[in-house]
Structure 1
Amino acid sequence: MRFQEDSIDSAGFVLRKDEVLTVILGGGKGTRLLPLTEKRSKPAVSFGGKYRLIDIPISNSLNSGFEKIFVLTQFNSYSLNRHIHRTYSTNSIHQKSFVEIIAAEQTVSSVNWFEGTADAVRKVLPYIREQKPKYVLILSGDQLYNMDLSDFIQNHLADSETEISVASNSVPEDRIYGLGIVQTGENGFIQEFIEKPQDISQVENCRQQDGSFLANMGIYIFNTKTLVDVLEDLSMTDFGKEILPKAIREKKVKSYVYNGYWEDIGTIRAFYEANLMLTDDIPKFNLYLEKTPFYTRPRSLPPTKINHAIVNQALISEGTILNHCEVHKSVIGVRQFIDHGTKIYNSIVMGLDHYGYFDRRSGKIPNGIGPNCEIRNTIVDKDCAIGADVKLLNLKNYTEYEDEYIKIRDGIIVVPRHTTVPDGYSI
């Protein structure tokens, strides 16, 4: 159920929604998502044509009734900070609601920047205490899921002994090596936690009956007193690597199993596949749920204009102009211009921040994608100018490659932001 003014758990305990404070971690350097994170943090990367990744956890929190939100930012934070300010600064659903940025800062007591997930929360404890929450909900800023977080809270409250709750999701064996794997007892309390196992033998006893494993989603609930306690050891900087393995030996740590879609956007391949999944007839991650909308920056853009174009299984964002072109199983961002004769397959085109000009008679390549291009298995970052007769096909099947115009990562062609690709370029 969604929280309104308050909620009552099975034991009759009344929880006011303003007793829960949400802290969203703005992400580290995001090196595995380069070049998309060269000039922006992971949560600021465009997603689904019109959103940013950060919109997902913020929307989950707001939709669940938890409207006091801190977003912790550090690396390449300008784009993220600007988006949050433009999108959520006027949030006034209730008087005590807010979405606020806390940037990494040097203080009298600490001259270092955030050094890990736990260290980031530790450094903002003074701001957390000011809000006087009973519970702190910690979310990641770069994951895809649509969770009713009030169910997560209710599960936490169902047993009065619970001090920490960890949201977990079933994953197949081939995904365990980059995640934290948990083993639970019959009562749901975590008995063992293995962060990023190196060998299957380390987690064989964690295997479930269907062969899958429960993975830590990086989503936590802490009783505020417990959070303060576990952060007292200054040598522990990360929740998954250090805090949780120790906490399960000393605290009551409970698992909450979330059975819905969840994806940690950690690599170019994961980002690419998550976007293209949105074009499926029935996508695993559904943007079209009326009761749990995903919020983003409102824009005053004209409708999409389609002139004799063929569009099949695609997301076309507002303000886009498609002229006598073809778009197949692709995601097209806002304001994007695609000229005649161009064919786009299995690609993500992030769109334009400004329309610019479309007239090629000046001799300068206009913003957008020019005529007679063919683009496959490609991510075109924002504000790129693609010339005429450009072929982005990766004909030699490079896994890793780069030149002055494109970079190939995980076999996916990436055109970095603000790149101009000249007429006739081919890869």
Structure 2
Amino acid sequence: MALPRVLVLVLAGGAGGRLELLTERRAKPAVPFAGVYRLIDFPLSNCQHAQLSDVWVSVQFHPTSLSQHLANGRPWDLDRTTGGLLVLPPYQGTERAGWVSGTANSLWRYSPLIRDFDADALVVVSSDAVYELDYREVVDGHLDSGAEVTMVTTEVAADDAARYGIVEVGEGDRIRDYAYKPDEPRTTTATNEVFVFSPDPTLDRLEALAAEHGEDGLEDLGSHLLPAQTSDGLARAHPLTGYWRDVGTVDAYWAAHQDFRSPEPPLDLDHPRWPVHTRGGRHSAARVLRGAEVEDSLVSGGTRVAGRVIGSVLSPGVVVEEGAVVVDSVLLPGVRVRAGATVTRTVLDDRVDVGEGASVGGEGEVTLVGREATVASGSELRAGARFPDPDDDDEA
């Protein structure tokens, strides 16, 4: 029996504003994670392990940063003569042309291409979460269920539930209620931005919604489409019981790194049966110099450590000079922390230079320093600061 024809659409076009300075000059899916990875590596690796080789990536903001990483899709076995990786930028020339204004709007704009592909199942995923999931298993369950949509769900903290689409699940995994970012969530069962749709009925429904609300009124999948499918009794849940972490905010991004630098991380990113693949550059081995101290940290290739590093994640090319101290922080590629400087509970973006004797961050809110910024020698950035200040054109 032939396998079902499956199309995966990765929605990678959002502005990612909640990540603040980290997405000022890069697409959210291109944000580095755990030293050597990018956020988009997680859904693409899930596709590879599920043997799904037709993957379309919708891009919009800062597309170059993402396209350079994706290239021809080779790390995820998507460099194919037929099918494989297809990058979908905004375009002009048809009635569906224009700037995407939401996830449902994106699906509507690409619906003619999706119909032409003639898939049995359409998998729609975002790329701002860290998790492992066999998409093929979700597809098989969906096709056997007769549902119009299968929503992958996870349990979230009660005080965080209002950020998500929240569902109530009844007998047989049928979803009996769906609320998009409700003010007062009735459960803590959230959709985690992985959906499997039956393409034709879903796209027919989307056309009707576009006629009712206008193309811009479609907004996100949770605005009209998912509630309509739920109210018609055509939505089901597929619970994900393993690790899942939305890293769409600075605090969540920092906290996820703390998960992975622990002695027993929640996912083995090098597991032989389910490794996470990425487009890696060539880096020499990490150099930990005599007198340095490294404890409970992830240290990538090409780094040089002569100071003290505790509970932190160091990306390729990071330098921590003698006498410098880095604690509970995330240092992205090319960062340099000079002698005598201290960095605490901070995310330093690409090629930040922390001057000698400077103090960055502290206990409390996570501090964020933007790409290529220079923190002057002897200066102090308090806990929770954003540098450069997004509301001030002058660097302090």
Instruction: Please give the TM-score of this superposition, normalised by the length of structure 2.
Output: 0.89
Unaligned runs of 5+ in 2: 382-396
Amino acid paired to 1:382: D
Give the superposition deviation at 1:251.
5.3
Q: Is the 1:55–1:295 contact (alpha carbons within 8 Å) kept by the matching residues of 2?
A: yes
Per the TM alignment, residue 65 of structure 1 is displaced from its structure 2 partner at its CA by 0.9
Question: For 2:101, what is the secondary structure of its paired residue?
Answer: coil
Provide closer, same or farther for how the CA distance between residues 393 and 275 of structure 1 changes in structure 2, counting only shifts above 3 A.
Answer: same
The 8 Å contact of residues 75 and 277 in structure 2, kept in 1 or not, is answered as no
The one of 281, 298, 317 aligned to 1:315: 298
SS at match of 1:59: helix
Pairing of 1:65-84 with structure 2 (within 5 A): 65-84=51-70
1:146 aligned onto 2:114: no
1:173-216 residue CA offsets vs partner (Å, 9 max, x unmatched): 2221111111122111111101111124xx2xxx4xxxxx2111
Deviations, residues 68-114 of structure 1 (Å, cap 9, x unaligned): 10010111222112111165489457654512210112233134311
**2:3 alignment counterpart:** 16
Query: Which residue type is aligned with residue 330 of structure 1?
Result: S
Which deviations, in whole Å up to 9, do the C-alpha atoms of 1:355-374 show, x marking residues without a partner?
xxxxxxxxxxxx62211111
Q: Secondary structure at the match of 1:39?
A: coil
**Could you say which residue in structure 2 is the equivalent of 1:379?**
347
Describe how 1:237-386 pairs up with structure 2 within 5 A.
Answer: 237-250=219-232, 252-308=234-290, 309-323=292-306, 325-352=307-334, 368-386=336-354
Does the C-alpha gap of structure 1 residues 299 and 86 become closer, same or farther in structure 2, counting only changes over 3 Å? farther
The 5 Å alignment of 1:146-295 reads 146-159=132-145, 161-200=146-185, 203=186, 207=187, 213-232=188-207, 233-234=209-210, 235=213, 236-250=218-232, 252-295=234-277
d(CA) in 2 for partners of 1:158, 1:345: 50
Please report the RMSD computed on the Cα atoms of aligned residues, expressed in angstroms: 1.9
CA shift, 1:390, in A, is: 1.4
TM-score by length of 1: 0.83
**Matching residue's letter, 1:177:** A
Instruction: Find out whether 1:412 has 2:366 as its counterpart.
Output: yes
Call closer, same or farther: CA 1:79–1:92 in 2, change over 3 Å: closer
Q: Does 1:421 align with 2:389?
A: no
Distance 1:24 1:133 in 2: 15
The amino acid across from 1:183 in the alignment is E
2: distance between equivalents of 1:88 and 1:105?
A: 25
Flag the 1:180–1:420 CA change in 2: closer, same or farther, 3 A: same
Q: Any idea what SS the aligned residue of 1:36 has?
A: helix
Alpha-carbon distance between aligned partners in 1 of 2:308 and 2:72, rounded to the nearest angstrom: 33
Q: CA 1:15 to 1:226, structure 2 compared with 1: closer, same or farther past 3 Å?
A: farther
Quote the Cα distance in structure 2 between the aligned partners of 1:421 and 1:242. Answer: 46
> 2:231 & 2:255 partners in 1: Cα distance?
38
Identity of aligned residues (%): 26
Instruction: Give the counterpart letter for 2:315 in structure 1.
Output: G
Q: Which runs of 4+ in 1 moved over 3 A?
A: 86-97
CA contact (8 A) 2:341 2:358 kept: yes
Cα displacement string for residues 321-372 of structure 1 (whole angstroms, at most 9, x for unaligned residues): 112x1111100001111111111100000022xxxxxxxxxxxxxx622111
Q: How far 1:28 sits from its partner (Å)?
A: 1.6
Q: 1:38 to 1:94 in 2, by over 3 A?
A: closer
1:77 maps to amino acid: P
Equivalent-residue separation in structure 1 for 2:78 and 2:103 (angstroms): 29
Inter-partner Cα distance in structure 1 for 2:38 and 2:26: 11
Please tell me whether the aligned partners of residues 153 and 240 of structure 2 are also in contact (alpha carbons under 8 angstroms).
yes
Change (3 A) 1:38 1:347: same
8 Å contact kept, 1:142–1:265 = yes
